[in-house]
Amino acid sequence: MHVLRTPDSRFENLEGYPFVANYLDVSASDTQPLRMHFLDEGPVDGPPIVLLHGEPTWSYLYRTMIPLLAESGYRVLAPDLIGFGRSDKPARIADYTYLRHVEWVTSWFERLKLRDVTLFVQDWGSLIGLRIAAEHSDRVGRLVVANGALPAGQQRPSPGFLAWRAFARYSPVLPAGLIVAGGTVRRVPPKVRAGYDAPFPDKTYQAGARAFPQLVPTSPTDPAIPANRAAWRALGQWEKPLLAIFGDRDPILGRADAALIKHVPGAAGQPHARIRASHFIQEDSGPELAERVLSWQKAVL
């Protein structure tokens, strides 16, 4: 496996991202160790909150939420998935599988000895994070799902998703900053778009971003379906608190909250919300999300 590493110079003086870089090696069952970058802000002995990003972003997506959570006494951890941000980037699309992503993040949890965390997930962060919550329930004490789902091959993919998947596979360019800007309600300034572009100096670094849409299990024969269905069954017995905060203008996942709220026992009676936001809800409404999580944490911790 040939692995690329984005030069540190690409991350200098990014808009609104003053955080210290942390690294550790993670492993999947069939790959060499890879270096994963993560943020670790706030008191080390504070209640842990883990923030998982999705496609095609990185921990930069959480830059407006992290200070508010950390200043309130929480230990806030935000990893960059393998292939994204400052983490290592295997160079071939075939190097990425759904299972490997789950194993890489699980390895990160294990290396940091994280337990009873509040896990905030969005986009592909939910496809990975909900699996981890179901398969390693001792590590996750509370769930916040924002524009996320756990596909189990039981619904046809939307035309919008199929178009996005084709674009990610065949387009000669994959401009992360413009993609984020196209999935928000508010205007994303050029300096912020540059922050999303920073991990990808050129197209050779984008195999992970190109792979993600192809890895979403949309068919009952997809190799990830048995594990996802088992995780969905486990979530049907999940009595720990689950909060859903979705963007009311997300054309892809804006209605996926209904199935989660209906299926997960721990979602009953929680202050779920649909707020004015599109797919990249953290970019549209980061401070509001942080305040909602903080208010909810006071009630459930």
pLDDT per residue as tens digits for the range 229-246? 999 999 999 999 999 999
pLDDT at 152: 86
pLDDT at 76: 99
Side chain identity, residue 74: Y
Query: Cβ contacts of residue 141 below 8 Å, gap of 6+?
Result: 115, 116, 117, 118, 240
pLDDT at 99: 98
pLDDT at 283: 99
pLDDT per residue as tens digits for the range 30-61? 999 999 999 999 999 999 999 999 999 999 99
139 to 115, 130, 152, 190, 274: CA distances (angstroms): 4, 12, 23, 38, 27
CATH number at residue 16: 3.40.50.1820
Q: Which residues of the chain have pLDDT under 50?
A: none
Per the DSSP assignment, residues forming a β-bridge with 273 are 245
For the four alpha carbons of 207, 212, 218 and 219, in that order, the dihedral sign comes to positive
Query: Cβ contacts of residue 27 below 8 Å, gap of 6+?
Result: 33, 34, 103, 104, 107
Residues carrying an active site annotation: 123, 250, 279
Q: How many domains is the chain built from?
A: 1
pLDDT at 97: 98
Which domain covers residue 108, as residue numbers? Answer: 3-300
